[in-house]
Structures are given as structure tokens and as C-alpha cells.
Amino acid sequence: MSDSAPEGGGLPVETILERLQNLQGWTLDDGKLVKSYRFPDFVIAVGFVDRVTVVAEEQNHHPDLAITWGKVTVHLRSHDVAGITGRDFRLAAAIDAISDAGSAKQESE
């Protein structure tokens, strides 16, 4: 299976839902993979974002991040194909690994 999709597409919904079963706490919402992480305070939440930034740069794939006090919500979508691709799933798994190594409490939105 290709990690890219034809222009204007992304992976089929059936494939996305199947692959979501391998990611804990991620959901499909409005054409994006979404997950929220909770932290004890704002500073630790921003530190998590800093670590996500390094991985996103390494993968050359950048999530939309919403930061509030003690909470970071991640939205993943491949903007170049206007859909979800294998790149989104790779980055989601990498973000979970960062979270597992830190002090995030994962939650579904």
C-alpha cells in the first residue's frame, strides 16, 4: 500500500478506520486524525510541543497543534493531497512515542 495518495484524495476511509485500530486514542474528525494529550501544567504541555516539533521537522510533516493550559490537541492531515496519508499515521505513532516517554495523559476528543 502506498503512503501517498492521488491528488485530491488521501487514503480511503475504510483504510483509515482500519489503521486507526493500531493507534490508541486517535479519532477521525472532520477529515483529520485527532488526539488530545493532558499535562499537569502549561509549561510541560509546551515542552511536549517542543519535542513534537523536532520529530515533525525530521519527518517534514507538520501537524496542527492547539495548546491550552495543560492540554495539547494534535490534528493531522496531509494538506498537499487534502486527505490522510501514511505520513499522518507515521507521525501519529511518533507523537505517541514522545508522549509515552513523557508525562502526558492521553485522551480521545
CA distance 20 to 6: 21
- Looking at 29-105, list the stretches that DSSP marks H as alpha helix, in order from N- to C-terminal side: 42-59, 86-101
Encode pLDDT of 74-94 as tens digits. Answer: 999 999 999 999 999 999 999
CATH assignment of 25-107, given 3.30.1360.20, 1.10.8.100, 3.90.480.20, 3.30.1330.10? 3.30.1360.20
Domain boundaries of the chain, sorted by first residue? 25-107
Split at pLDDT 50, 70, 90, the class of 35 is very high
Per-residue pLDDT at 46 exceeds 60: yes
Mean of the per-residue pLDDT values of the chain: 89
- Structure confidence at residue 103 (pLDDT): 53
pTM equals 0.85
